[in-house]
A and B are shown apart, each in its own frame.
Chain A
Amino acid sequence: MRKTFLLLSLSLSWGIASQSFGQEVDRSLTARSAVLRSELVAEVPASDHGELPTDVSGWTTRLRNAAHIRSYVGTLVVTTDAGQVSGSRVWHACRDDRQIERVDALDGPARTVFRRGGDMRTFLRASHKVLNEPVTASSVFPQPLQGLPEKLNMLYRVERKGTERVAGHESDVIWLVPRDALRFGYRVWSERRSGLVLKVQTVQADGRVLEQAGFLQLDLDAPVSFDQLSSAMDDVSGYQVVDSVGEEDRTEQNSKWVLRTAVPGFRLEGCRMAFAGARTTQCSYADGLTRVSLFFEDLGPNGPPAAVARWSAGATRAIARPLDASTWLTVVGEVPYPTLLLFAERLQRRSD
């Protein structure tokens, strides 16, 4: 039974690969990855069977899982409502349960970012420095976005907006609409067969686009070699390695500040020291799709940095204000300003 299923998926994948992409695909590679994919495909909700998810949590699972099983190469463009544009070349490879990604910046200073498992490594070409950062530092930050499915559905609802062709692929368009005014919405273009995200827009309540990240061009199931990317990531010859934050500094911290009343939908994920040597604690709150970071800085003898300030670019907003005589607060998130202000105003000293 299993063999039949595998054989069926094999031929199906071959058929899809040669038909849709009409290019010379490494057959053995396709066969091997098809076998693996077929096992994973069974776990992905409604992937190749024509049924699409109906709620937000179903969709986010589909979108997330697609990147676990598909390799691709493409050109990604990020644009903000202010007209800032940034392009990158992306290679993404999967093997078994692991993924590796390489992103080369096409605009601005030449730099390459690798992401593999829990590690992120940035090669800064000009200064010949390599920045090492673990993405998930410790158990304090669990796997990103571990929201309960029901909670996600309470905070957002999904609207189907038909289909559209993006970056050369047919995609389903969905709109993740927030049910309150404390968060932004997302328009997502999801490749029809795999569910891979081709384009995402972060939108305001009135539909105005704040930021967009999308592939201009995408080679889906391109023969990207996991090993090649991995060895490129590990080759630091000629570069000075800088570990941005030492492991010993990323200890679980109990923040001195807590929220008097929770901000609806946001749950505390954990706190940690933000940087080595700095007296800044970072606490992260998440609602399942987006996160807000609170930075508490102990003001030293230099005194308060500046007056109350706000900053924004694209969908990211930040506000800064003193909490008390010795603490400076900065709140950063891809949420509307009122949400950041709610966080700031509801903080109070932990009473132990």
Chain B
Amino acid sequence: MNTQYGQNEWLSAMADGELQGVELDKALALCEREEERGAWHTYHLIGDVMRSPELGRSGDTSRLLQGVRLAMDLAAPPATSYVLESNVAPDAALAAPAANDSIFRWKMAAGFASLAAVAALAWGPLADLRTGEAQGAQLAMRSSVPLDGKAAGDTRVLQASASPQVMIRDARLDELLAAHKQFSGVNALQMPAGFLRNATFETAPQQ
């Protein structure tokens, strides 16, 4: 047990649970030294990899990612009864990290609004709905990624995010939004924004 090779052998044996009694005590005493602790970690890693090969595949990054995915799966709130039509839980999970982004985006948007470039982002009546749908669909897709294949028992949520959102006819939706617009919440606070915003949804009157 005097050579380095011998000491490492002891540690390896201890890692495999083969030591007992006096031998175990001696091996434990070894671990109090720095270099031996490094060997100890290595032996454990080797043991892990031997027992589950996928863990050792591409190094720390993939293990970290897997760990994150696992943690997210475990943290995902259970599906509600509304799950067929709404991804409320995944949206909320996404919303929290994005809070700062939104505020920053607001400031950016407000700044751009004063530039001519805003014309490129202008709301056209029908273009809105398609953009809105695309954004909504993107959100749904993004939220489904972490749960992909890993969710335990949340199969209904998977279906909801995977199924395409069938839109009702745009012209019809325009009419309904127009009818709803007069009473939108922001009107309560005396901003013209309420009826104005919905006014941008309006197409020309139906022929």
Contact = CB atoms under 8 A, between A and B. Distances in A.
A213 B106 CA distance: 11
B32 to A, nearest CB: 48
Interface in A303-334: 305-316, 318-321, 330, 332-334
A192 interface: no
B190 to A, nearest CB: 4
Given A63-B190, A202-B186, A85 B121 contact: yes
A141 B187 CA distance: 15
Interface stretch (A1-9, A26-34, A108-116, A255-263): A108-116
Interface in A290-312: 290-291, 293, 295, 305-312
A107 B196 CA distance: 12
B121 to A, nearest CB: 5
Contacts of A60: 188-189
Contact of B136 (A77, A92, A311): A311
B131 interface: yes
Contact of B99 (A63, A206, A244): A206
Given A144-B187, A290-B185, A108 B200 contact: yes
Contacts of B74: none
Contacts of A141: 183
Interface string A118-132: 001010101101010
A337 B191 contact: no
A200 B191 contact: yes
Given A77-B113, A86-B200, A311 B132 contact: yes
A313 B170 CA distance: 13
Nearest to A190: B189
Given A206-B95, A216-B110, A124 B204 contact: yes
A330 B176 contact: yes
Contact of B168 (A83, A84, A206, A306): A306
A297 B168 CA distance: 13
A144 B188 contact: yes
Given A85-B109, A275-B175, A293-B179, A216 B114 contact: yes
B15 to A, nearest CB: 46
A242 B99 CA distance: 44
Interface stretch (A17-25, A228-236, A281-289): A281-289
Interface string B149-165: 00000000000000001
Contact of A305 (B168, B189, B205): B168
Contact of A135 (B85, B121, B182): B182
B45 interface: no
Interface in A55-99: 60, 63-64, 66-67, 76-79, 81-88, 90, 92
Contact of B110 (A77, A92, A295): A77
B177 A332 contact: yes
A187 to B, nearest CB: 11
Given A107-B118, A113-B196, A332 B129 contact: no
A336 interface: yes
A274 interface: yes
Interface in B114-160: 114, 118-119, 121-125, 128-129, 131-133, 135-136
A338 interface: yes
Contacts of A242: 205
B165 A318 contact: no
A158 interface: no
Contacts of A213: 186, 191, 193, 197
A318 B178 CA distance: 13
B205 A131 contact: yes
Contact of A289 (B99, B177, B188): B188
A151 to B, nearest CB: 13
Contact of B180 (A124, A293, A321): A293
A341 B166 contact: no
B79 interface: no
B106 A212 contact: yes
A311 B202 contact: no
B184 interface: yes
Nearest to A335: B185
B8 interface: no
B75 to A, nearest CB: 16
Interface of B: 80, 82, 84-86, 88, 92, 95-96, 98-99, 102-103, 105-106, 109-110, 112-114, 118-119, 121-125, 128-129, 131-133, 135-136, 165-169, 172-173, 175-177, 179-180, 182-193, 195-200, 202, 204-205
7 contacts: A108-B124, A184-B185, A197-B190, A197-B191, A202-B186, A309-B168, A310-B85
